[in-house]
A and B are shown apart, each in its own frame.
Chain A
Amino acid sequence: NAGVTQTPKFQVLKTGQSMTLQCAQDMNHEYMSWYRQDPGMGLRLIHYSVGAGITDQGEVPNGYNVSRSTTEDFPLRLLSAAPSQTSVYFCASSYIWGSSYNEQFFGPGTRLTVL
């Protein structure tokens, strides 16, 4: 299993540009989520999904869109990038049910800089 994969690893954008951060998992997890990590602030939840076709907002959703058309993929879209979105983005996934539902698996992260 590849686990949780994220692409790209690094990205530089100009203000106003759009882009999609990709996240995929091969563990058949129902739950997927996106976090951003900023110094001194820990990880904050952006959006999450409990299954294909179902998404919801987390703590800091503004400026980001998500969709979940398959179990495996959960892309994060920045519609019009702003310098405040400079951050490291992590995707995570887990089961919702069963004995191991509490362990979330994290991807390696995408480091995004918006100029």
Chain B
Amino acid sequence: AQSVTQLGSHVSVSEGALVLLRCNYSSSVPPYLFWYVQYPNQGLQLLLKYTTGATLVKGINGFEAEFKKSETSFHLTKPSAHMSDAAEYFCAVRHRGGATNKLIFGTGTLLAVQP
């Protein structure tokens, strides 16, 4: 069965510092990979996704993630944090193939940005 692990339920960085949010998956076949962001009292918004092709994926708001098959990882990074990046971030996977779009989510990482 597929699973997703996000290391660190809370991450705090200073404004302007590097943001690194970790995500590892467990699957016999590399799945489709996603990062979603949730701002307070809002729904989830897709940041970026990896389906095929280039393993470095760029998303919205300056975020990017790299798919590393050998490490079964899909870590999210941003070179310079902004106060507006404070939110909860979820990594998710979807099984390749099949006619459903079932997503399996990690437990989330709450990002705090200090001035």
Interfacial residues, chain A to chain B (CB-CB below 8 A): 4, 31, 33, 35, 40-45, 48, 50, 56, 58, 90, 92, 94, 96, 101-104, 106-109
B94 in the interface (beta carbon within 8 A)? yes
In chain A, what residue has the closest Cβ to B34? A102
B83 in the interface (beta carbon within 8 A)? no
B60 in the interface (beta carbon within 8 A)? no
- Are B90 and A42 in contact (CB-based, < 8 A)? yes
Q: Which residues of chain B are within 8 angstroms of A108 by Cβ–Cβ distance?
A: 42-43
B46 in the interface (beta carbon within 8 A)? yes
Interfacial residues, chain B to chain A (CB-CB below 8 A): 4, 9, 32, 34, 36, 42-46, 49, 51, 90, 92, 94, 99-108
A49 to chain B, nearest CB (A): 9
- Are A96 and B105 in contact (CB-based, < 8 A)? no
- In the complex the two chains form, what is the Cα distance from A51 to B49 in whole Å? 24
In chain A, what residue has the closest Cβ to B36? A106
Contact of A41 among B100, B102, B107 (CB under 8 A): B107
Can you list 10 A-B pairs, Cβ within 8 angstroms, ordered by A? A31-B100, A42-B4, A42-B107, A48-B100, A50-B99, A96-B100, A102-B94, A102-B101, A106-B36, A106-B43
- In the complex the two chains form, what is the Cα distance from A33 to B100 in whole Å? 10
- In the complex the two chains form, what is the Cα distance from A94 to B34 in whole Å? 14
- Are B9 and A33 in contact (CB-based, < 8 A)? no
Contact of A42 among B46, B99, B105 (CB under 8 A): B105
A40 to chain B, nearest CB (A): 6
Contact of A96 among B4, B42, B99 (CB under 8 A): B99
- In the complex the two chains form, what is the Cα distance from A96 to B102 in whole Å? 10
Top 8 nearest A-B pairs (CB, nearest first) are: A106-B43, A42-B105, A106-B44, A42-B107, A43-B105, A31-B101, A108-B43, A94-B101
